[in-house]
Structure 1
Amino acid sequence: MKRHRDESVAFSAVFGLPAEVGMRMAADALSLSLSTAYKRARSGEFPCPLRKVGRRYFVRLADLMRALGIQDVRVHYDDFETGARVARGRTDTWY
């Protein structure tokens, strides 16, 4: 039996979102001041896992979205194309 490849893509990928973000963007998204975000990172109380490179912290976008309660759903290409047609004001499905 032949497997069909997955014809879907993550919602975040559709909009070209980065795989990870820096501390400033994560703090803004979580409504934290930058100093509070760094304090929580140092104490291990940041709301999502962090990756530290040198003195900088990074947050995976998927973890940040999860902390915000945003689900990174899979979008099927057919649904994406249908949405584009509707946005253009065309509802016929035969083209």
Structure 2
Amino acid sequence: MNHQQRALDVRGMSEAEVIALPVSIPLEFANRAIGLGRTLGYAMAKRGEYPIPVIRLANAYRCRRADLLEYLGIQDRAEAA
């Protein structure tokens, strides 16, 4: 089992739930999908060490679903068709 599969198992979100996320997601959802705790995820984003690109909008951090899917090794079946 690779680290992406372990993260999917630990965080309690199915592959279908990850694919169903909106195009732009709050960092909190990305943390959950990757298997990071809230504090660590936000600290990594603030230091520029988050495993996927993070967009900062005022006080909010957001990520692109496409980056999250790529990191987790999940192919979006809607895009694949």
Fold in common (TM above 0.5): yes
SS in 1 for 2:52: coil
Matched, 1:44 2:48: yes
Residue by residue, what CA displacement relative to the aligned partner does 1:21-60 show, whole Å, maximum 9, x if unpaired? 1011000000000110011001111010011100100000
Equivalent residue for 1:74, pick from 61, 76, 80: 80
- Evaluate the alpha carbon distance shift between residue 16 and residue 37 of structure 1 in structure 2; reply closer, same or farther with a 3 A threshold: closer
Partner of 1:65: 69
Equivalent residue for 2:30, pick from 12, 26, 37: 26
| CA RMSD after TM alignment | 1.8
Segments of 4+ moved more than 6 angstroms: none
Q: What is the number of equivalent residue pairs in this alignment? A: 62
Give the TM-score normalised by structure 2. Answer: 0.68
Runs of at least 5 residues in structure 1 that lack an aligned partner in the other structure: 1-11, 76-95
Give the TM-score normalised by structure 1. Answer: 0.59
SS in 2 for 1:25: helix
- CA radius of gyration, larger in: 1
What's the % identity of the aligned pairs? 34
Partner of 2:58: 54
Structure (1 or 2) with the greater helix fraction: 2
Structure (1 or 2) with the greater strand fraction: 1
Q: CA–CA distance in 2 between the matches of 1:16 and 1:57? A: 19
SS in 2 for 1:58: strand
